[in-house]
Structure 1
């Protein structure tokens, strides 16, 4: 079960600041897209998220998008955000995470994985030796298999003293 335990559990990606990262020795982040940075399926401009990534990059934090979204969808967001990444990543396979860490030019212990799913983002990040940061999903409009996984995630999170329904929404 410890492979399913996130290093940190936060209400929103914007709770991750340069100071938060420095306190954990993190110099880079792998970022999930859907329901982590933007609501699932959204193409609307997300000014808060763009400002957040800009501020992190200005502070010297290296960013890489690691998403299971289609490559087309990931590429659209990457062109808006101005950093590198990949869609159809194959999470939670640790090889996807190791490749992404290599693109950042950092060691695994210097990189955090930020995502909204225990069985992809947290599991894969932990298998790859990253610091995992679970954030509350931005929307409840996920795919049917993701909605089913949320039930199991709730059991896992309760085991570690967290619960989706206890988190305040941003």
Structure 2
């Protein structure tokens, strides 16, 4: 299904490097706001930096795929030397596919992680990469994301009819 994640986990920071390597993952594409850091707080940037370093030591590339503009995303990520694609137009898959091809990776070697079904998971599924839904880091959203959250509630209802979506500390099949 278009909106069904392959996996769920409570937070991106609980992704296990050994498990990613076992799955053959060579790049983690991640949403920024409420996935890697709270959209209105930058204190989680240190945690993001540590996560990036752990992935890099394991030979896994972290790339942020964001619908935000380059100025906003660069302000947050440039100090940590984290690669990004801004104005990605998720849920369209083109930015993910283009970046994957630039990295010379196969779809099964890339994992898209995000907190939204309508943008992140749909884009990852359309791009043919592994998808992971995480719980948002904080409960509040920017105004434009609140609209998506309304429609997500409807999608979650239908997903729950056939399969309950739960979040644990380890990757779980969605």
TM value normalised by structure 1: 0.88
Structure 2 distance, partners of 1:28, 1:153, is 26
Structure 1 distance, partners of 2:18, 2:67, is 29
Conserved 8 A contact 2:62-2:82: yes
Which residue does the alignment assign to 1:128? 127
Structure 1 distance, partners of 2:39, 2:82, is 20
CA 139–102 in structure 1, closer or farther in 2 if over 3 Å, else same: same
Aligned length: 165
Q: Residue 4 of structure 1 aligns to a residue in which SS?
A: coil
Unaligned segments of structure 1, at least 5 residues: none
TM value normalised by structure 2: 0.86
Alpha-carbon shift at residue 45 of structure 1 (Å): 5.4
Structure 2 distance, partners of 1:60, 1:89, is 24
Alpha-carbon shift at residue 30 of structure 1 (Å): 0.7
Structure 1 distance, partners of 2:45, 2:83, is 18
Unaligned segments of structure 2, at least 5 residues: 170-174
Q: Residue 8 of structure 2 aligns to a residue in which SS?
A: strand
Which deviates more from structure 2 when the two are superposed, residues 66-75 or residues 149-158? Answer: 149-158
Which runs of 4 or more aligned residues in structure 1 lie more than 6 Å from their structure 2 counterparts after TM superposition?
none
Cα displacement string for residues 124-155 of structure 1 (whole angstroms, at most 9, x for unaligned residues): 10000000011100112212342232233234
Cα displacement string for residues 76-125 of structure 1 (whole angstroms, at most 9, x for unaligned residues): 22212213212211111111111121232211111000111000100010
Conserved 8 A contact 1:36-1:116: yes
